[in-house]
């Protein structure tokens, strides 16, 4: 086996790594032995020279090394075949009520920088880091061998690639991929736009939270804010809602939601319109409107720790407005996908929103992301989604 370049950490900087967190930051490195190029495999050593882990290096990123293995094993085709097969096997262990789900979730599946989602017979992949992008051909070949997809589409359009020194782009990498793919979730079907849709086309991480609406919607008037392609709205209607109004700021999303309502024969009870949720909630309150169940699934209001205060104000505002539209017995299903907003801060914000809205609420259930987006203990960045179901007393 060829000699692997070595990177030594500063004294007492290995504790986080030993607990299983797979990142080494630029400021934690004491020295680099020899010349190391972007994406090259390196060994990490502690300050005394003891082996810690093996990963890939990138001088363009603040995260200089991302760990692939805690063993001195070759990072070759065999390595990636094993890791991909292990990730696939983990999903087969889950009883996923859908043919659309995440197959590889980056660090949580011990393949940092790789996202892989399955939509029926098609795969959507994201190569987010230099070390993974450099091995794209190997990974694509293995995906063809292990999963036999009809097509693989790349959604390499996330800003993290720019921080890694990589260009943005999208396109077919394997076979053929249609603009829209039809998938099943529970009893319903959805059109997913894998080429232009949010994330890789669908919010796969909210699957179980959508299905948690069962038993909450019977003969209820529902408002779904930030509805995107209508997944929450349609599940609510399917579970017995008398009417559903979906709001989204994107005309593209509203058009897709309307298509999905027609696909499931729910267009009579599901109506969608374009609008800013903040403005719409205020307008509905001024009109004296009321709802029995409100869904809030906003985009991340912050992607940095520095912006947490304005993000909290935004979250509090929409939750306060929603609570004002609910009467006694009303249900609020509310979410945050901002990693920097901790579960504790999320619940504290909801408590303050309820107090300011003059409502007392029970916390019925608290959820997180779907199990095909596993949370790896020791890596808090893999835990980002919060979902709470509240009932007005």
Residues known to be catalytic: 337
Read off the tokens for 340: 């920097």
H helices present in 156-213, as ranges: 160-163, 207-211
Contacts of 233 (CB under 8 A, 6+ apart): 222, 224, 227, 244, 246, 257, 261, 270, 272, 295
Rg (CA), the chain: 23
Q: Are strands 188-193 and 221-225 parallel, antiparallel or unpaired?
A: unpaired
SS3 content of the chain, % helix, strand, coil (to 5): 30, 30, 35
What are the φ/ψ torsions at residue 345 (nearest 5 degrees)? -65, -35
Cα dihedral 339, 345, 350, 352 in deg (nearest 10): -140
Instruction: Report the alpha-carbon distance of residue 36 to residue 18 in Å, rounded.
Output: 23
Integer CA distances (angstroms), 255 to 62, 119, 260, 275, in order: 40, 20, 9, 13
In whole angstroms, what separates CA 84 from the centre of its chain? 19
Closest CA to 97 of 387, 372, 385: 372
Beta-sheet pairing, 151-156 with 169-175: antiparallel
Residue 214 tokens, joined: 């069962």
Give me the half-sphere count of Cα atoms (radius 13 Å) on the Cβ side of residue 71.
5
Distance CA 301, CA 91 (A): 30
Provide the 10 A C-beta neighbour count for residue 311: 20
| 8 Å CB contact between 88 and 52 | no
Q: 207 phi and psi, to 5 degrees?
A: -55, -55
């Amino acid at each position: 086996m060829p000699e692997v370049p070595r990177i030594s950490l500063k004294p007492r900087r290995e504790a986080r790594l030993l607990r299983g967190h797979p990142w080494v930051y630029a400021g934690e490195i004491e020295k680099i032995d020899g010349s190391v190029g972007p994406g090259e495999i390196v060994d990490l050593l502690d300050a005394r020279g003891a082996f810690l882990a093996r990963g890939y290096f990138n001088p363009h990123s603040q995260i200089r090394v991302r760990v692939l293995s805690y063993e001195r094993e070759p990072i070759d085709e065999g390595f990636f075949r094993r890791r991909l097969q292990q990730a696939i096997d983990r999903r087969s262990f889950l009883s996923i009520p859908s043919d659309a789900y995440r197959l590889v979730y980056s660090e949580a599946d011990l393949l940092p920088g790789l996202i892989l989602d399955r939509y029926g017979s098609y795969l959507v992949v994201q190569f987010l880091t230099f070390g993974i992008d450099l091995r794209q051909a190997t990974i694509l070949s293995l995906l063809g061998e292990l999963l036999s997809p009809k097509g693989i589409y790349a959604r390499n359009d996330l800003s993290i690639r720019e921080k890694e020194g990589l260009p943005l782009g999208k396109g077919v990498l394997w076979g053929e991929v249609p603009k829209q793919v039809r998938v099943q979730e529970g009893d319903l079907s959805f059109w997913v736009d894998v080429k232009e849709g949010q994330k890789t086309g669908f919010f796969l991480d909210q699957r179980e939270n959508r299905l948690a609406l069962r038993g909450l919607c019977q003969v209820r008037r529902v408002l779904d804010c930030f509805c995107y392609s209508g997944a929450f709205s349609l599940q609510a209607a399917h579970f017995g809602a008398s009417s559903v109004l979906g709001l989204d700021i994107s005309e593209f999303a509203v058009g897709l939601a309307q298509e999905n309502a027609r696909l499931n024969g729910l267009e009579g009870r599901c109506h969608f319109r374009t609008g800013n949720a903040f403005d719409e909630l205020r307008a509905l309150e001024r009109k004296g409107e009321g709802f029995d169940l409100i869904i809030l699934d906003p985009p991340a209001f912050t992607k940095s720790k520095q912006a947490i205060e304005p993000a909290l104000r935004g979250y509090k505002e929409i939750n306060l407005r929603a609570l004002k539209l609910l009467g006694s017995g009303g249900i609020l299903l509310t979410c945050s996908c901002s990693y920097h907003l901790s579960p504790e801060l999320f619940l504290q914000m909801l408590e303050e929103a309820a107090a300011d809205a003059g409502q007392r609420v029970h916390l019925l259930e608290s959820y997180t992301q779907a199990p095909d987006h596993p949370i790896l203990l020791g890596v808090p960045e893999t835990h980002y989604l919060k979902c709470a179901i509240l009932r007005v007393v």
